[in-house]
Structure 1
Amino acid sequence: MPPEPFDSPASPPLHEPASLAPRDHETARSSRRGNRRLPRRAAAARRSFTSTLKALDGLAASGAKVSVRINDLDRGTSVLSGDDFVTLPVAGLGVVPLLIELAAAFESGALDPFEIIERTSVPPVHVAGVWQHLKAPALPLVDLAVLTGSAGDATAANALLERVGLPAVRSRIEKLGLARSALLDGFRDERGPDDAPQVALGSARELAELFAALVNSEVVSAGVSAQVSEWLSLNHDLSLVAGATGLDPFAHENDDHGLLFINKTGRDAGIRAEAGVLAGPRAGVSYALIVCFDDLSIAHRLRAHEAFRTLGVDLMEYVF
């Protein structure tokens, strides 16, 4: 018998709401897009996410666990969802609450942004990042935040987590109302039986809503939201959903074509995750996609990557 499609009764279907009622106010990110506002939804029928649905159906039929959520920022409604309530591993995407707690501590004065942290304060880790390759043996907290947001630097993130404290981050997650998200541990080269099995967990719904709240200045305070958004806007990893944007991975803060974009990705064996905000002249969205798959070959991995890029193309059609 052929495998069940992703939207079978065994799994809540991906869907597009039949009615999208407009909101009474514009979001904060509208001002960052300037005054070049074209008529909304002029091509709504064309922006149907059909290709994304097909790609995600294929992944789910092959045994992958897929969770997706897209929210329209102006209308405050869900555009696409599928198993968005399911908690899955999100790898490095889980550092976003850490950056939020750090920014809040900077704002309150609990931490000095220029406090110097020695690299030797945490055990060496040789996964993603650049600090391990730099000659500088110590850096200020604020620079470690830049490395964490821009390069997914594992050593920098671990140093921040050591200074901020895992209990403080967990408390912040609770205050943010993220009931299905957790930062469990720092980054490790190998995980033993006494270590947490994952760096972090999350759901697509909560991640999409968190990124929407960041660009709408609703996370802790306007200042904290702006600071975290700035760090995330430096992210160099535009290889998944963001591959469809055509943005320069190393300089995309101010796009000439009026595209606002921030994102964070998570990668581990058999895990790919991304959440972010994409806004163009017609519309803006917050999104999150998590795929957990059997990383048996490069073909399995590329198939997962292609689903992210397909979503990126559909999102570009939606916002432009």
Structure 2
Amino acid sequence: MGTEPRKDAESLRGSRRGTSRRLPRRAAAGRRSFTATLKALDDLAASGAKVSVRLTDLDRGHSVLAGDDFVTLPVGGLGVVPLLIEVAAGFESGQLDPLEIVDRSGLEAVTVAGVWQHLKAPALPLADLAVLTASTGDALAANALLSRVGLPAVRARIEQLGLTHSAMLDRFRDVRGPDDAPHVALGSARELAEVFAALVNSKVVSPGVSAQVAEWLSLNHDLSLVASATGLDPFSHDDDVHGLLFINKTGRDAGIRAEAGVLAGPRAGVSYALIVCFDDLSIMHRMRAHEAFRTLGMELMEYVF
């Protein structure tokens, strides 16, 4: 993997930052390496996978690890984060009523992910649809939100956020035809990590919007990739007894795995994003991709603790 030339970023094989003087406890985390992660990602890249990764220390505000983090790649359901931001902004401004009811009978059926399709309730309020979208990756709920706010509004929000390598292209579909966009969403690891850092720093639209989106994302049940190393309960992890702050969102599609989030412990805090696009030729190809995410999770835990 290559990296875009710039002064403040380290390459995927970049050196660790540190000095010989005694450092504060949190700053000392910067001297920790990601050797196993580097090897796992380089092995994936050598096998033909496209890999994009970015880790940013929340205290120091600069890159801990970056590899092809400027490259735009498909991110699957991770692309709903700007949609959630637009919905939260609508709630705050009064343009959207959180209790407005949406009936799924008016939506095209989609069964790729989620639980609403299995529930008896045929209609739900927008606020509950946002919870389902963030917590279970519910495709039907996300499509309902998108039908209410409109794709142009989400694209305008992405532009307002300054995301030039990210886009929401389409709603979720069971089958993509030749006239449909090839993917739900695109993004770069750098911008995704920046968005999550901005969320926990209350800099996305407003403090209220940042807090609302972070609260929704804190309910995410998918802790199977990077988050598998945290040991958190997938169904209840917003108040960890060990003081671990964690929010994340994953994205999955055929040959696509992506995750972005924030992990903070007593030693340090990090925003992260990892996107892997691979040939899903066998279960072993898939497991190698998953293992790279889990390796990153283990080294992130060592970094923040």
User: Which band: TM-score by shorter chain?
Assistant: over 0.9
**Structure 1 SS opposite 2:176:** coil
Q: Which whole-Å deviations, capped at 9, do the CAs of 1:174-210 have from their partners, x for residues lacking one?
A: 0000000000001000000010000000000000000
**Structure 1 SS opposite 2:238:** coil
Cα pair 2:29 2:268 within 8 Å, conserved: no
1:32 alignment counterpart: none
Cα pair 1:90 1:271 within 8 Å, conserved: yes
Cα pair 2:229 2:294 within 8 Å, conserved: yes
1:225 alignment counterpart: 210
CA positional deviation for 1:122: 1.0
2:91 alignment counterpart: 106
Question: Partner letter of residue 219 of structure 2?
Answer: L
1:120 alignment counterpart: 105
Task: State the alpha-carbon separation in 1 of the partners of residues 139 and 28 from structure 2.
Answer: 44
2:42 alignment counterpart: 57
**Structure 2 SS opposite 1:278:** strand
CA positional deviation for 1:40: 2.2
Please show how residues 202-241 of structure 1 align to structure 2 within 5 Å. Answer: 202-241=187-226
Task: State the alpha-carbon separation in 2 of the partners of residues 137 and 278 from structure 1.
Answer: 36
Cα pair 1:271 1:293 within 8 Å, conserved: yes
Q: 2:246 pairs with 223, 246, 261, which one?
A: 261
Q: 1:72 pairs with 57, 60, 74, which one?
A: 57
Task: State the alpha-carbon separation in 1 of the partners of residues 207 and 145 from structure 2.
Answer: 22
Identity of aligned residues (%): 79
Task: State the alpha-carbon separation in 2 of the partners of residues 226 and 112 from structure 1.
Answer: 18
**Aligned residue pair count:** 296
Please show how residues 53-202 of structure 1 align to structure 2 within 5 Å. Answer: 53-202=38-187
With structure 1 as the length reference, what TM-score do the two structures score?
0.90
> CA 1:8–1:82 in 2, change beyond 3 Å: closer, same or farther?
closer
1:295 alignment counterpart: 280
1:30 alignment counterpart: none
Gaps of 5+ in 1: 1-5, 22-37
> CA 1:283–1:196 in 2, change beyond 3 Å: closer, same or farther?
same
**Structure 2 SS opposite 1:198:** coil
Task: State the alpha-carbon separation in 2 of the partners of residues 43 and 161 from structure 1.
Answer: 40
**Structure 1 SS opposite 2:210:** helix
1:40 alignment counterpart: 26
Q: Which whole-Å deviations, capped at 9, do the CAs of 1:210-265 have from their partners, x for residues lacking one?
A: 00000000000000000000000000000000000000000000000000000000
Q: 2:256 pairs with 263, 266, 271, which one?
A: 271
1:248 alignment counterpart: 233
Question: Partner letter of residue 242 of structure 1?
Answer: A
> CA 1:75–1:13 in 2, change beyond 3 Å: closer, same or farther?
closer
CA positional deviation for 1:120: 1.2
Cα pair 1:115 1:141 within 8 Å, conserved: yes
Task: State the alpha-carbon separation in 1 of the partners of residues 70 and 128 from structure 2.
Answer: 34
2:7 alignment counterpart: none
> CA 1:42–1:180 in 2, change beyond 3 Å: closer, same or farther?
closer
Task: State the alpha-carbon separation in 1 of the partners of residues 137 and 3 from structure 2.
Answer: 36
Q: 1:286 pairs with 258, 271, 296, which one?
A: 271
CA positional deviation for 1:44: 4.8
Task: State the alpha-carbon separation in 2 of the partners of residues 126 and 43 from structure 1.
Answer: 43
Report the aligned-residue RMSD.
1.7
Cα pair 1:17 1:79 within 8 Å, conserved: no
**Structure 1 SS opposite 2:297:** helix
> CA 1:200–1:20 in 2, change beyond 3 Å: closer, same or farther?
farther
CA positional deviation for 1:17: 5.6
**Structure 2 SS opposite 1:63:** coil
Q: Which whole-Å deviations, capped at 9, do the CAs of 1:109-147 have from their partners, x for residues lacking one?
A: 001000000011210001110000000000000000000
Runs of 4 or more off by more than 3 Å in structure 1? Answer: 6-9, 15-21, 41-45
